[in-house]
Structure 1
Amino acid sequence: MTGDTAGVVLAYLPDESILSNIARLREQVDRVYVVNNSPGDAGTSTVLDELSQDNGTVVLDQEKNIGVAAGFNAGMREAIADGFDYVWIFDQDSTVAEGMLDQLRAAFSDWPEPVAMAGPALRAEETGFLYDADHREGLGELQTLISSGALFSRAALEKIGLHDERLFIDYVDHDISLRARREGLAVVKVFDTVLDHRFGASTPATFLGRRIYLSNYSPMRQYYMTRNRVIMVRRYGFGRWFWEDAAYASKAWIKVLLCERDRPRKIRAGLRGFADGVRFREVRTIVQ
């Protein structure tokens, strides 16, 4: 357990699996802030009420679903206000591995340049396989990290700010990673520790004789993914991050168009998102 590190877990209509994930996290950090993004839901209250017996876990009830960016920020602000030097953030679908925190913390001292955030390698929960890009060892500098499993230093957050809450959900992690790099801070992946993670309501399917997995994101998610992708291009240009993301987005849209249900609504949502991304009005202030 590292006394200067707090965990943040974002909860939205969670099932009981979130409790075992939090228990694993509590073995490595001094305190966990659980941000309840589904207030008023009886099932959520039943699950999270079990955390009341643990003095090291604090449930932060929100007035409504405030989104991923604002949700993470709510927990991160509490951790920083309470004096923690590192904040480790998760969504409810991620499972921390034993000893992961020590390995992530080591990246901040082992990397030759100042580090803003460090994250683990990713393994797909539904398949049990590492993602293709994560079949490596040691440390590596990336363009972006996904938010879940990312460890942030307080010093970096004071320099770059927290997540941009106007993005609401998708590309929140891209934005804070690219903002950190713009400020001269490194974004580091630790390939020797692995986070089990689930993307969307992933379900298996067969296409042209091959087994594939469909994310089945809602039209709302397609809207935000498209809108925020356009916003990222406007902010950061067509760097390496874009081409890596374009490869992923192309495969995802092929699955939507050929295999998923509710295609017309998802296509319309994507088109609206593109138009709104073009019209998005930037402001100078980043949420602190």
Structure 2
Amino acid sequence: MGQAFRILATIVTFNPDISSLTKNLDKISRQVDAVLLFDNNSNNQEEIKNKSFAQNIKAFFNSQNQGLPINYNRAIQYGLKNGFDYLLILDQDSVFDDNFLTEYRKNISDNSICLVPLLVHSNKNYNDSYSTRTKGETESVLRSINSGMLLNLKALPVQLRFDEDLFIDCVDFDFFEKIRKLDFKVLRVNSAKLHISLGNISRIGPFFLYNYSPFRLEKQTRDRVIFLRKHPISAFSLWLFLFTIFCDTKAVLFEKKRIRKIKAIAKGFKEGLFFRMSSHQNP
């Protein structure tokens, strides 16, 4: 790779678009030393198994949907065991610019435990309304999302892992909250752009709708309740609480499958409220 450090990338998939996944894997496999693919029992898992991957891609196929954090932690352990210096986490549908890794490599240092990208929403109207304001080439930030995160494995404390009590939502928020409490720095590289998709965005009047499936809404609600139980007193928790109420209200008023979504939100709230959290996940 022509660098003094080795980068491992990981992608967790669930019912991915095969064409997009293939393009992303081909692109990232040429820019990092190795890639770990974890498939969470996708409906098209057999099709993924039959794909020909680059030699530096290693695929694992779960027999059930295990969510994100357990697989992220497996990637961390694999990276530490096999001498990698950094772990790059990507989503199955996130698209990065050609210079993405080049810009990251320019800013790698021991001063930051984590690099994160500048997020660009694939929906132009949404991005125009909620684009990120930047200050300079890089800047310290408190949080980002899972996708695009570059973790410094050599500097990662043993207690800093992804919370396996969570499933898919708030996995990133919880991880960055742990980073903050340990007084580590997170550096956003504004020249490293990651293009992301949030659900299937549509618009009604002044409101953006995410149009998540009932299953996703259930897990989203569950995870947010667990997160709020873990971190009840903060400005961000208050914002997340109000934002969740706002989004759920939009979903049940304006989106399709309203009855199913109401039931999913109620089920997720109950699951999160009565979930028995693991003590070792709350350092």
User: Normalized against structure 2, the TM-score is what?
Assistant: 0.86
Matched, 1:35 2:38: yes
Opposite residue 21 of structure 1, the aligned amino acid is: N
Query: Aligned runs of 1:45-124 on 2, under 5 Å?
Result: 45-52=46-53, 54-109=54-109, 114-124=111-121
Does the C-alpha gap of structure 1 residues 141 and 77 become closer, same or farther in structure 2, counting only changes over 3 Å?
Answer: same
1:30 Cα deviation after fit:
0.8
Q: Distance in 1 between matches of 2:233 and 2:115?
A: 23
Aligned residue number for residue 20 of structure 2: 17
Aligned residue number for residue 188 of structure 1: 187
User: Unpaired runs of 5+ in structure 2?
Assistant: none
Matched, 1:222 2:221: no
Query: Aligned runs of 1:92-171 on 2, under 5 Å?
Result: 92-109=92-109, 114-127=111-124, 129=127, 132-136=130-134, 137-171=136-170
Does the C-alpha gap of structure 1 residues 241 and 221 become closer, same or farther in structure 2, counting only changes over 3 Å?
Answer: same
- Structure 2 residue corresponding to 1:6, chosen from 8, 13, 18: 8
Q: Distance in 2 between matches of 1:160 and 1:138?
A: 31
1:237 Cα deviation after fit:
2.9
Q: Distance in 1 between matches of 2:183 and 2:140?
A: 12
Aligned residue number for residue 232 of structure 2: 237
1:60 Cα deviation after fit:
1.5
| Aligned residue pairs, count | 277
1:76 Cα deviation after fit:
3.1
Opposite residue 55 of structure 1, the aligned amino acid is: Q
Q: Distance in 2 between matches of 1:252 and 1:104?
A: 33
SS at match of 1:134: coil
Q: Distance in 2 between matches of 1:187 and 1:219?
A: 33
- Structure 2 residue corresponding to 1:258, chosen from 253, 256, 269: 253
User: Unpaired runs of 5+ in structure 1?
Assistant: none
Aligned residue number for residue 204 of structure 1: 202
Q: Deviations over 1:31-62 (max 9, x none)?
A: 111112226x4x3333453333x211111122
Q: Distance in 1 between matches of 2:33 and 2:101?
A: 12
Q: Distance in 1 between matches of 2:163 and 2:94?
A: 22
Opposite residue 77 of structure 1, the aligned amino acid is: Q
Cα pair 1:122 1:131 within 8 Å, conserved: no
